[in-house]
Structure 1
């Protein structure tokens, strides 16, 4: 699976990104645009580029960027609760109402409870992703005046490269930046810890259920095979004594279809499909949370580093040399910070896309099971 490959190491994950806006509808979902022979090694950059050019990714990107954040107060908390719920309903597919409507018409059992847990945990993950996207919006608002300043100030390292008016403007922007809080949570936030713990527990339960389901299928097949061999052997023995080889074939053949437990096999196959989908989705989401957590930790550290740098400059007053040194360092930090912000936004969208794929498949399986059971 793409995400499993993409998340196999933090170094690969954090550096494999296209540096262009997401494209919408330029390729089929998850389908490569070329028919080249598969390479013995996976090109993660190519696979990542394909993932961010799917139509589902583009739709999610558009929806979570609909809110204008240019004038948002960086110290403002997450948006209005009703607004967040509306956005969640637009981005999360199938949404909570669709899932609840489907689950209330199926008989509760271990499988349904596990699938329901996946729906709940994936919805909680999507809400966390929306909160993080809001943090990205607030970070852009926090840095917008600072980046506008850096765009017009010279990069000359000389102590007199800035005029006094430029120093005064920089000092005022530094004061404004210093007043605002870090928009990103502290590393190892309890939100991530609790969410990963939930997915880890769910994965263990799904794996245990998968093992039991596979064991039942194997026992059933072995028992069926044994019965078939015994019955066929008996029929052949009797038939050989009373008829020719042609009669043997005529007598044995009608027994074979009835020996295959078609209804039970379909049920087991449906259960395995749902369990596998939930287990893969759980594993992928757990890894997505690890990657997103690392990105948030790096962004939190980057903002704290800039705030410390600016605080040192402010402590020196309107000294041109001190401000010049701060500006010089901020120029160096700027590209990396923008890179990290885009990384986080892309991973949030990919996380949403993975959640929606698994939720859609599970709901489809539930509807399919209901239609065949009624």
Structure 2
């Protein structure tokens, strides 16, 4: 079996995107599009464009042909073509081109602007299941007027209802506080006191560490795989507090519960995540968000993700939100990174081509199907 066979197998591999959000539900203008091509939440300065970035160059190179444009097309011509095709056709083309066979869609962020799991399935022609964000469920409860005294009993009930058909849970504790939290389950008194203070504050945004810990442990009680954003993200985080190594004590406390923890993205701490995935049987990781935003350099990120963790502990994700270019590129750049790394090792005689194909299948689809029990669905 040759490296050409390996490349073909990776290119043709149907992927499970285990952490993704919906594509845009409606058209956006160029300024809005550019804001969606960066993790910054600040306006793009007038003297620059987000198309002059690794992600912007990758879009002009790899997404342009899917929209019937030449590679490296000028950004203005690319945007004009997007406007001509419309949001539905752009999503249809780019989702189909990604080669994804199953989406696990996290629905807790600006859901009114993007396609729901049902709509993603319709647009792509492949299954889409839901991953429920813990913080969003609690914030919905606050809007409904739940009292502090009843919150600790009401939240697990509502979570069970909301996740009846879900395949996993997600927490953004990294955004709302950081990973340097007390890893222990909070006491009922702590939860009530924190809830009382939060509900009196007038904000529905939950950031109290006791409440965030309550959400995590309630999620663990639910028994579904739990995703945790780690590493790189928008300026709402303090990146030095999002190193997954800070979760080590929490990971140890979780281990007896038999619940899998999925560390998402992890860049630039992906080597640290690889250590955790090697050390603890219930820890997995991916490099999703870092792949899209590193563009041509993403091959190095993908190769680094293969250094330490057993291959049964690594998953593929795009973490795409909004522009379907991100859904397409997340898959394309990951495939390219895997082709480059594995072909080099096969050519050097370090790996067999058959083993390389088997590993690509594990990471690209089989591990996710096992962790989220998709084979039984």
* Larger CA Rg, structure 1 vs 2: 1
Determine which structure has greater relative contact order: mean sequence separation of CA pairs < 8 Å that are 6+ residues apart, divided by chain length: 1
Name the structure where strand makes up a greater proportion of residues.
Answer: 2
Q: Scaled by the length of structure 2, what TM-score is found? A: 0.25
Q: Scaled by the length of structure 1, what TM-score is found? A: 0.25
Name the structure where helix makes up a greater proportion of residues.
Answer: 1
